[in-house]
Amino acid sequence: MHSTTASRPRDRHLPPQRAERIARPLYTPEERRRRDASGWTLVQGVLAPVQFLIFTVSLVLVLRYLVTGEGHTAAVVSVVVKTLALYAIMVTGSIWEKVVFGKYLFAPAFYWEDVFSMLVLALHTAYLAALATGLLADRPLMYLALAAYATYVINATQFILKLRAARLDMARQARSADLGGEVAA
């Protein structure tokens, strides 16, 4: 190993996008201010757990139908309600993203979450289209719902991990500010 290689900062070996994610917090101070001032933040905070509750109930109903053959109508209605809740959170989330980051979708801070959200939307919409057209029989339709739900769980996990990272970053910044204050004192 050359001596110049050993003295390089660790993130220089990372691809530029990865190094930027390490260096840049999820929110700039101005974006954080806009996030905290926006009513859309509260809307997202309410819709996310409501959608998860709807998802949980619907998942149980879909699985019940697939296992027992009973409750077809309840399962179908629950998937439609879940899909409508998804549309609501996606529309309001796009507005929130515009307020906070200046873009309706694909802001750098949530780029990959938004990309995967498109797959989630596509599968839920495919369910509604197949239901409306009779393209799929009952069981395949429920399997399509399960595929849509699997992508939803992955996407929800992406967002949870991103928001957790933002909280950890805020805590790290607060500790740095506190340490800076103690050193100055």
Residue 140 dihedral angles phi and psi, to the nearest 5°: -60, -35
Contact 62, 78 (CB under 8 A): yes
Task: Note the pTM of the prediction, 2 decimals.
Answer: 0.78
The tokens describing 68, both together, are 């027992």
Q: What is the pLDDT of residue 88?
A: 97
Residue 12 has pLDDT above 80, yes or no: no
What is the full DSSP assignment across 96-140?
Answer: HHHHHHS-SS--GGGHHHHHHHHHHHHHHHHHHHHHHHT-S-HHH
Q: Give 60-97 pLDDT, tens digit per residue.
A: 999 999 999 999 999 999 999 999 999 999 999 999 99
Cα 164 to Cα 111: distance, rounded to the nearest angstrom: 16
Q: Does residue 175 or residue 135 have the better pLDDT?
A: 135
Torsion angle in degrees (nearest 10) through CA of 53, 57, 62, 68: 160
Residue 152 burial (CB count, 10 A): 24
Cα 87 to Cα 148: distance, rounded to the nearest angstrom: 13
Contact 58, 75 (CB under 8 A): yes
Q: Give 23-69 pLDDT, tens digit per residue.
A: 577 888 899 999 999 999 999 999 999 999 999 999 999 999 999 99
Cα 131 to Cα 141: distance, rounded to the nearest angstrom: 7
